[in-house]
Amino acid sequence: MSKDLNKNIKITSHKPPHFPFEDPPFALTMGLLKIPDSEWFEIFDLKERALQLAEKRKFLASIHKDVFMADASALTASKDVLNLMLKNLVTYQPDLYSLNKKTIKLKAHKNFNGEEFSTDLNISGMHPLDLAARLVQEDLVIMLPPNKKQKGWWLAAGSLTFPSRWNLKDKFRKTMDAIHAPVPFYKDQIKNPTNNFFDQMPCDELFARRNWSLHDTPALRQDGTQPIVETTSINSKNAGERLWLRVERQTLRKLKGTGAILFTIRIHIRPLKQLEKLKRVAKRLSKALSALPPEMQAYKQTNTFSDAVQEYLDQF
């Protein structure tokens, strides 16, 4: 691994709950952590797992064409993703998954009846990435390297059930730089480090990063079609009841052979009022909010209630 690549990475691990608030001053960074294979997929609350898998099934059944998209050039990488995931899940979660020559079984537990899928794609007719995403709570996105048509890393396939104010249709077949164009400071601060990291990233090593935001709804699917709220009745007295902390935990893995990069995206949602019992966390979030520049406040859509939230959090 090159020295430049090492600058972007911390070698550690982290597990839920996630409170990824950076201390002031604000700086946009990749925030990468190197993690072991055992932490690729997060399963720690079976009630939450049952709920999120049920939500996935609902959206895959009702709006599949909006949730799943794949360019033909991503097929080989998608097969590699499925094979890696099958091996990982039965290795590290044997109480929840079992695999034989023709099927993968998601074992039943409380609030979840279990499921079984054929792993023979010729029989099921299912796209391998579509199948892979049905096995876990995470959404999956495949980025392919630049080519003659695409001048940068580009989004070639995805199963995106739980987006955080964006949608797959708008980003499909776009480059990494185009996808992140709306992010304040991306071009000046992390565009080049991100592309360099993708280029140099070693195969089959896992890296993780986390984002956070505050939302006025606990809905898992927020596809960016909801209007931006210009005014709000949220104040320091009701913020705990009216807002939710939404953390997006991503992992990145470059695949041998194709050189594709797989993103996994796992959503964690908790009521803001839960931080009343976590005084240190509440103070960290308050400081992080106060450090956000106006451009990032607007991007995160916290600008209408940021002062109220800080006043609420500073009570604890």
pTM (2 decimals)? 0.93
What is the four-CA torsion angle of 80, 83, 85, 90, rounded to 10 degrees? -170
Query: What pLDDT, on a 0 to 100 scale, did the predictor assign at position 14?
Result: 65
For residue range 62-92, what is the model confidence (pLDDT) as tens digits?
A: 999 999 999 999 999 999 999 999 999 999 9
Query: What pLDDT, on a 0 to 100 scale, did the predictor assign at position 12?
Result: 47
Q: Residue 60 in contact with residue 68, Cβ under 8 Å?
A: yes
DSSP classification of residue 275 = G
What percent of the chain stands above pLDDT 90?
A: 87
For residue range 123-147, what is the model confidence (pLDDT) as tens digits?
A: 999 999 999 999 999 999 999 999 9
Query: What pLDDT, on a 0 to 100 scale, did the predictor assign at position 28?
Result: 84
Query: What pLDDT, on a 0 to 100 scale, did the predictor assign at position 225?
Result: 86
Alpha-carbon distance 166 to 182, whole Å?
Answer: 11
Residues 6+ apart with CB under 8 A from 287: 21, 23, 24
Say whether pLDDT at 9 is over 60. no
For residue range 219-277, what is the model confidence (pLDDT) as tens digits?
A: 999 998 887 777 789 999 999 999 999 999 999 999 999 999 999 999 999 999 999 99
Instruction: Give the Cβ contact number of residue 312 at 10 Å.
Output: 25
Structure tokens that stand for 222 in this block = 């927020």
For residue range 103-129, what is the model confidence (pLDDT) as tens digits?
A: 999 999 999 999 999 999 999 999 999
Query: What pLDDT, on a 0 to 100 scale, did the predictor assign at position 226?
Result: 84
